[in-house]
Structure 1
Amino acid sequence: MRMYNRYIAALSFAAILFNSCDKKDNNNSEDPGANSKFIVAVSPVASTGVADYLLTADNLDEGSITTARNGVEQDGTYRYYVTHKGLFFSMLYGQGNPGAVTAYTLSGEGKLNKVTNFQSETVQAFAPADNDILMMKIPRSQTGGNSALWYRVSTEKLEIVGEGQSDIVAMANNGERAHFTWLKQVGNKIYAPYMSIKGCCGDGFGTAYPDSAWIAVYSYPSMTLDKVIKDNRTSYIGRYFTDGLEVMENGDVYAFSSSVAKNGASFSSTKPSAIVRLKAGVTEFDQTYLFDIAAASGGWYLTNKLYVGNNLFILSMSNVKDPYGVGHRFAVVDVVAKTFKWVTGTPDPADITAVTTTNYVPKDNKTGYIGITTVDSKSAVYKIDATTATAVKGLNVEGGTITAIQKLDKK
């Protein structure tokens, strides 16, 4: 409890810092008067870990941008990004050390303007929820305690407006620990899928329960735990630091499982990489629906998804299991019709070295933009048409590896 109180005190101090502005990192690379910009995060070419640069662009379909004497440098490596309510959040993953939260708005001149930068505990999951960013710190071993710590950052007040904890050992109820893969707002609930992990004994992310999926259901904004729902037709939903849920226009929720659970050094799940469903308003898995992606793809498995609308998803796919790697081949699925098509027009998977997992969709029911870097160190944004399962190369990015693509509108 003393550790928890110290954490809350640190958050309270961070809330004070959250209101301080720092104008020194403004990006002056864009034309004035823009109401929106695309933000492309790029890790510059270097031999060791280097912080991302945030570059801005007017479109993603053509042209080029560069890290040379350009962009807003981030503090620290391993940054992750989310855009909500006219704010672009840059989150530092501290790898056991304190993290940081930096947020930007788009100024009247179309420049990135830093509005906050504060230190906090490193969080392992975060997502937009109402007018907040909900963040969660999840201890992976007994030394970190038995509770995940959550807090709500208001995008209106620019301060922390709520915090609490949730017992992840009691939640798992099997001698292991619940480790949330991500968070998703569904109506007035937060769905938090988790993997069951040992958290000890030299096999921290291993599990004796590889053939089950769980979702913790919380009321929002109180974050009161309502229930835990379970399905035994897939392995866990999402992956470490990877969103495995999507809410559709009709309120149905689709859940994506890579089937990469391990026990020791071996992949131990007997379940296929698959998609399952929860019907709108029903906090139980729909036992009438399962889309076997492994069977549809001829033995491949999904690593990430991008929803473009009208039941269509772009999937990153791999034929080599890896709990953390991102697939280098792409497919389009219609989750209602259960159709599967390979995407053409992207580089050969063997020539790809990196694929972005934070990507942009214009909500036109067909288009997704994904960043790809190839073995010749060339990076570009690829425009994928999900209705035709074809891709074309768009914006070229010089001087580094694309790590994220977002769009920021003037607040």
Structure 2
Amino acid sequence: MLLSCEPKKASTADEARYIIAISQPSKSYYPFHVVGDLEAGQAEISNAKQIADMPNSVFVTGKAGFVLLNSKEKLIKYSVGGDNALIPEGNVPNTGLLGGPISAFLDESRLLVSTAPRQVSDSLFAYQIVDTQNMTVERSGQIRLQVSPGSMASPSMYIVREGKVLVPYIHADDQNHAFPKASVAVFNAEDMRLEKTISTEKTACLGYSVVSSHAITENGDLYLISSNSNYWGANESLPSGIVRIKSGQTDFDETYFLNLTARLNGNHSGGMIFAGGNKVIVQVFESKLVKSYGDYQQGFVISYYEADLQTQALRKLDLPLSKYPRRALERLKNGKVAIAVNAENGENAFYIYDGQTGGVKKGLVYRDAEYLSGVAAF
């Protein structure tokens, strides 16, 4: 589905483009909207159009000039036409359909992707390497995560870094209660051979597949946030926090831990996105506002903080409490960060964080939407 509210103009690889998923469950209506600017204006959704014959499409990833959406049987590449219509450019059979696919580009055109399943009891997961230029499958295979017998595993994301593929994963018992540690499997990017698994007991459940959960700073250090609330990973016995793997290393830096739960009155984190310099924006569930499981998604319980990774200083951003945590954070082409806020007053808007000034301003506002359910740059 697609909305059109901009002047007709063909898409190029150099232009800023953002695809927005909009949810209107009362109307069984879930359109996508392609825009060039999230920093100002109002958007109408009355002219929404459906992607023909592809209901329930799920956003996977994007690259300059195209996006990849997953359907029940196919991973489909779309470019953007002069009227901002999504134009199919090819497809490959997928590994299944799930709301939280994981993927990472191995280089400019080769995509490592798993569209399903997210959690299995034998810890064996299917992946594909897709040539996104001509939409062909270069290789299909499986990876196995190290888990104890009878337990469950759920990979959070793929991170391609320095010739390795890092796979943070949630390790849980047969009741889906995560064990009190966080693990990352390290694979060789050339042949997807498991080299080792690293763990830390500082926190549990690093990342989650439907929200940005890591940051690589300019010096190459990798930071990972735990998403161990009772919504994401179901283990609040350990604090939420941020851990580090230094540039050139594939082990946790045991000297570093930003304990978010201790600093935020017992609250637990969701996602995190890099904002430039040493700053990240952290998504936080306000625990006192969570009365039932459904509140994690449909309650106005989400706040956002600026965190300095070096000094570990935290500052709450002046934003309305929001609902729906999925895909709510995206880095703009100019380095700013867009935060999708679904406020209690019914307004659905993007708030723009400027890392240079630390300021936040209201950007693109949607009218007649029930909630924004995701945004991604391409």
Same fold (TM over 0.5): yes
Go from structure 1 to structure 2 and tell me whether the alpha carbon gap of 1:304 and 1:26 turns closer, same or farther (over 3 Å shift): closer
Of all paired residues, the percent bearing the same amino acid is 18
SS in 2 for 1:172: coil
Unaligned residue ranges in structure 2 (runs of 5+): none
Aligned counterparts of 1:261 and 1:273: Cα–Cα separation in 2: 11
Aligned equivalents of 2:118, 2:43: Cα separation in 1: 39
Kept after mapping to 2: 8 A contact 1:31/1:110: yes
Q: Give the distance between the partners of 1:323 and 1:135, measured in 2 at CA.
A: 29
The equivalent of 1:212 in structure 2 is: 181
Query: How far off its partner does 1:117 sit?
Result: 4.5
Matched residue, 2:207: 238
CA distance in 2, matches of 1:333, 1:302: 12
Counterpart contact for 1:29–1:111, Cα < 8 Å: no
Tell me the equivalent position of 1:353. 323
Structure 1 residues 139-150: aligned runs within 5 Å: 140-142=119-121, 146-150=123-127
Which structure is higher in helix share? 1
Q: Do the aligned residues in 2 keep the contact of 1:61 with 1:395 (CA within 8 Å)?
A: yes
Amino acid corresponding to residue 170 of structure 2 in structure 1: M
Tell me the equivalent position of 1:179: 154
Question: 2:289 aligned with 1:319, yes or no?
Answer: no
Q: Does 1:127 align with 2:104?
A: yes
> d(CA) in 1 for partners of 2:127 and 2:148?
20
Aligned mate of 1:91, from 46, 70, 78: 70
Q: 1:407 to 1:336 in 2, by over 3 A?
A: same
Tell me the secondary structure at the aligned position of residue 295 of structure 1.
helix
TM-score, length-normalised on structure 1? 0.78
- For residues 332 and 275 of structure 1, the distance between their equivalents in structure 2, rounded to whole angstroms, comes to 13
Q: 1:333 to 1:146 in 2, by over 3 A?
A: closer
Give the gaps of 5 or more residues in structure 1: 1-23, 93-97
CA apart distance, 1:288: 0.9
The residue correspondences of 1:392-411 to structure 2 (distance < 5 A) are: 392-400=361-369, 401-408=371-378
Q: Using a 3 Å threshold, how does the CA distance of structure 1 residues 295 and 160 change in structure 2: closer, same or farther? A: same
Secondary structure of residue in 1 paired with 2:17: strand
Question: Does residue 1:59 correspond to 2:29, yes or no?
Answer: no
| Alpha-carbon distance in structure 2 between the residues aligned to 1:334 and 1:395 | 27
| C-alpha separation in 2, matches of 1:338 and 1:32 | 44
Aligned-partner Cα distance in 1 for 2:342–2:282: 17
**1:323-382 CA distances to partner (integer Å, 9 max, x unpaired)?**
9936521100011121110101x22x2xx33355254323555x2112222234331111
Indicate how the Cα distance of structure 1 residues 34 and 154 shifts in structure 2: closer, same or farther if over 3 A, else same.
closer
Deviations for 1:256-279, whole angstroms, at most 9, x for unmatched residues? Answer: 1133369xxx95543211111011
Provide the C-alpha distance between the structure 2 equivalents of 1:103 and 1:26, rounded to a whole number of angstroms: 18
Give matches, 1:292-331, under 5 Å: 292-320=259-287, 325=296, 328-331=302-305
Aligned to 1:247: 216
Contact 2:18 2:37 in 1 (8 A): no
Whether the aligned pair in 1 keeps the contact of 2:73 and 2:93 (CA below 8 Å) is yes
Decide whether aligned partners of structure 1 residues 77 and 268 sit closer, same or farther in structure 2, where only a CA change above 3 A counts: same
1:165 alignment counterpart = 142
* Deviation at residue 167 of structure 1 after TM alignment: 2.7
How far apart, in 1, do the equivalents of 2:36 and 2:317 lie? 26
Which deviations, in whole Å up to 9, do the C-alpha atoms of 1:302-338 show, x marking residues without a partner? 1111212112111111122769936521100011121
**Residue number in structure 2 paired with 1:342:** 316
Contact map agreement 2:170 2:205 (CA 8 A) in 1: yes
Q: 1:216 to 1:25 in 2, by over 3 A?
A: same
- Greater displacement, 275-284 / 391-400: 391-400
For residues 57 and 341 of structure 1, do their structure 2 counterparts lie closer, same or farther at Cα, with a shift above 3 Å needed? same
Q: Cα offset for 1:132?
A: 2.0
Separation in 2 of the partners of 1:407 and 1:167? 31
SS at match of 1:288: coil
Task: Give runs of aligned pairs for residues 5-20 of structure 1, distance below 5 A.
Answer: none
CA-to-aligned-CA distance 1:122-160 (integer Å, 9 cap, x gap):
254223331222112346344xx5521111111223111
Distance 1:109 1:39 in 2: 15
Deviations 1:229-263 (A, max 9, x none): 1111111211354443322221111111133369x
Residues 73 and 402 (structure 1 numbering): CA distance in 2 closer, same or farther, change over 3 Å?
farther
Counterparts of residues 26-45 of structure 1 (less than 5 Å): 30-33=7-10, 35=12, 36-45=15-24
Give 3-state SS (helix, strand or coil) of 1:294's partner.
helix
SS in 2 for 1:214: strand
- Note if contact 2:282-2:307 (Cα within 8 Å) is conserved in structure 1: yes
**Contact 2:92–2:137 (CA under 8 A) maintained in structure 1:** no
Alignment of 1:264-275 (within 5 A): 268-275=235-242
1:378 aligns with 2:356: no
1:152 correspondence with 2:113: no
Equivalent position amino acid for 2:162 in 1: G
Which deviates more from structure 2 when the two are superposed, residues 277-286 or residues 374-383? 374-383
- For 1:406 and 1:30, how far apart are their aligned partners in 2? 21
In the alignment, the residues of structure 1 paired with residue 171 and residue 250 of structure 2 have an alpha-carbon distance, to the nearest angstrom, of 20
Which secondary structure state, in structure 1, belongs to the residue aligned with residue 263 of structure 2?
A: helix
Matched AA of 1:206: H
Contact 1:55 1:65 in 2 (8 A): no
Q: What is the rounded CA distance, in whole Å, between the counterparts of 2:4 and 2:283 in structure 1?
A: 32
Q: Which residue of 2 aligns with 1:276?
A: 243
